[in-house]
């Protein structure tokens, strides 16, 4: 079992942190995990991408060519990375994204809207995303994910982010 997950969006959305938390949740769940990201040519803004590989075996090559699961929070990142998905893979996108002609199981979820309107904090989009993901990736224990979240998010925002996570888990159920 090896799952290759790509989280993509724009600079400030915190998807790298989401990837880190996912990987941490996974190792707490006794899986192997490798997380990596590509930095832009400079630290400034622009697109952002995190990659996480989960496996029960050891993981060598640390990068993802084609993903099993693609998450895109922006149209631009979707257009770019939907080109690099495996057959029969899963694609999770924010509802704002226009998905066309790809051969995958697509889940649209109102991630950004939930962050802005339900949680009133746009920066929670990354943790909501994790909530969504947690419903798709069964091997990673939700409790471990939560543990990883509370360890990695800024002090004082733990509760808010727990709430965001819960909201995320509900989004996919609601679909």
Partner 1 sequence: MMAVKVKLLQGNEACVHGAIHAGMKFFAGYPITPSTEIAEISSLMLPKVKGTFIQMEDEIASISATIGASIAGQKSMTATSGPGFSLKQEAIGYACITETPCVIVNVQRHGPSTGLPTSPAQGDLMQAKWGTHGDHSIIALSPTTVPETYSMTVRAFNLAEKYRTPVILLLDEVIGHMREKVEFNELENLEIIDRKRANCNAEEFKAFEVTEDLIPPMEKIGEGYKFHVTGLVHDETGFPTNSTEEARKLLSRQTKKIEDNLDDILMNEEYMTEDCEILIVTFGCMVRSSKDSIDELRAKGIKIGLLAIKTVWPFPSEAVKKLSEQVEYIFVPEMNMGQMILEVERVVKNNCKVVGINKFNGEIITPQEIVSEVEGVLSFAK
Partner 2 sequence: MPSKVIENNFRVNRLPHIWCPGCGHGILMRSLAVAIEEANLDKDKICIVSGIGCSSRSSGYFDYNTVHTTHGRALAFATGIKLANPDLHVIVISGDGDATAIGGNHLIHSCRRNIDITTIVFNNNIYGMTGGQYSPTTPTNDKATTSPYGNIDKPFDICDLSAGAGATFVARASAYHAKQMIDYTKKALLHKGFSVVEGISACPTYYGRKNKKGSAVDLIKLIKDNTQMSNDIVKSKLDGKTAIGIFKDEIQPEYTEEYKKVMDKF
Residues in contact with partner 2, counted by CB under 8 A, come to a total of 6
* Tokens of residue 32, six digits: 């192997």
Report the residue number, 12 or 62, with the smaller CB distance to ligand SF4.
12
What string of H, E and C letters represents the secondary structure of 4-54?
Answer: EEEEEEEHHHCHHHHHHHHHHHHHHCCCEEEEEECCCCCCCCCEEEEEEEE
What's the rounded Cα separation, in Å, for the pair 123 and 119? Answer: 9
Tell me which stretch binds partner 2 (CB under 8 A): 37-45, 90-98, 145-153, 164-172: 37-45
Interface contacts to partner 1, rule CB under 8 A: 20, 23-24, 27-28, 32-43, 59-63, 65, 148
Where in 42-81 is the site for ligand SF4 (CB under 6 A)?
A: 43-44
CA distance 108 to 138: 19
Closest distance between partner 2 and the C-beta of residue 11, in Å? 9
Q: Is 43 in the site for partner 2 (CB under 8 A)?
A: yes
Would you count residue 41 as binding ligand SF4 (CB under 6 A)? no
**Which of residues 1 and 43 has its CB atom nearest to ligand SF4 in the complex?**
43
The structure tokens listed for 144 are 């471990």
List 109's β-bridge partners, or say none.
94
């Amino acid at each position: 079992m090896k799952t290759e997950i790509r989280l993509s969006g724009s600079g400030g959305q915190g998807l790298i942190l989401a990837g880190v938390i996912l990987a941490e949740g996974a190792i707490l769940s006794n899986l192997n995990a490798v997380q990596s990201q590509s930095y832009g040519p400079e630290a400034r803004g622009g697109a952002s991408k995190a990659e996480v590989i989960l496996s029960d075996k050891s993981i060598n090559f640390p990068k993802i060519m084609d993903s099993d699961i693609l998450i895109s929070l922006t149209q631009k990142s979707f257009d770019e990375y939907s080109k690099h998905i495996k057959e029969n893979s899963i694609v999770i996108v924010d509802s704002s994204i226009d998905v066309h002609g790809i051969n995958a199981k697509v889940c649209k979820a109102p991630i950004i809207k939930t962050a802005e309107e339900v949680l009133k904090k746009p920066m929670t989009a990354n943790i909501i995303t994790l909530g969504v993901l947690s419903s798709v990736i069964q091997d990673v224990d939700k409790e471990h994910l939560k543990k990883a979240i509370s360890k990695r998010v800024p002090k004082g925002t733990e509760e808010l982010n727990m709430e965001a996570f819960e909201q995320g888990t509900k989004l996919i159920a609601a679909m």
